[in-house]
Amino acid sequence: MTSLQTSPPTPVADAALAASARGLTRTYGRGDTLVSALRGVDLDLPTGRFTAIMGPSGSGKSTLMHCLAGLDQPTGGTVSVAGQPLESLDDDALTRFRRDHVGFVFQAFNLLPMLTAEQNIWLPTELAGRPRADHRGRFDHIVATLGLTDRLTHRPAELSGGQQQRVAIARALLTAPAIVFADEPTGNLDSTSSAEVLSFLRGSVRELGQTVVMVTHEVDAAGYADDVVVLADGQVTHHLHDPSRADLVAALAGRSA
């Protein structure tokens, strides 16, 4: 069996599409309690864009993100990330693929409390057995851009919520994954910290060519994105490119602008 610690990065086949889904369905339960969380989603997310996934509570946003990220298995349909069909990977290969090509930012930051900011940022790279030297330049750039240079020796409890989320973003971006999934990344932040985090995510797309997919229910947060996917009742109702706020509000209200 291949060790997760030492295996080289799994290759990716296609850089043009960061993620795509065809006929994606996900049901939970059965019989009387059957819930169709996703009902035939077709979606292409190009590389180098910042996409927000929006929709009412229960519309399937989290389920879609988890299926695209290989954290949840769809009931039907296909998902590819960077050209790699996820259904063709067994559990070990999927874990390695996520480790090598997918970054995550969560609402609750998910930092390890006993490690410093710097140790938290390096952790996934070290778990993958990668030499720090390969990533040192990017580390310095990301840490400086996120304003974390003076905070590297602090533990999460000694950092504000906004600083903790910036550490989590630095951790997600360090290995330049094919795609970063951010699940309500500003859900626990005040408006100033939210604006900082969203500006940085947008900047990582513009300046580092990062692909970011963010689930959010906040129109203001989605305003930082290039594209917005609107879900209703498990289906994509709109896929808007550079929408105006009016277009976005109309789409969320179930109208065309």
Could you tell me how many residues of this chain bind ligand ADP (CB under 6 A)? 12
Question: Which CB sits closer to ligand ADP, 70 or 156?
Answer: 70
Does residue 209 contact residue 173 with C-beta atoms inside 8 Å? no
26 near 75, Cβ under 8 Å? yes
SS3 49: coil
- Residue list 42-71, contact with ligand ADP (CB under 6 A): 55, 57-63
Q: Does 216 bind ligand ADP (CB under 6 A)?
A: no
- Please name which of 181, 184, 177, 152 lies closest in space to residue 50, comparing C-alpha atoms: 181
User: Interface residues for ligand ADP in 166-205 (CB under 6 A)?
Assistant: none
The Cα 97–Cα 81 span in angstroms is 9
Q: Does 73 engage in binding with ligand ADP (CB under 6 A)? A: no
Query: Tokens 């951790």 sit at which residue?
Result: 171
**Rounded to the nearest whole angstrom, what is the least distance from the CB of residue 232 to ligand ADP in the complex?**
10
CB 37 → ligand ADP: shortest distance, Å? 3
Taking CB under 6 A as the binding criterion, the range among 28-36, 86-94, 98-106, 144-152 that sits at the site for ligand ADP is 28-36
The span from the CA of 250 to the CA of 238, in Å, is 10
Give the shortest CB-176-to-ligand ADP separation in angstroms: 27
Biggest alpha carbon–alpha carbon distance for the chain: 56
Question: What is the contact surface with ligand ADP in residues (CB under 6 A)?
Answer: 28-29, 35, 37, 55, 57-63
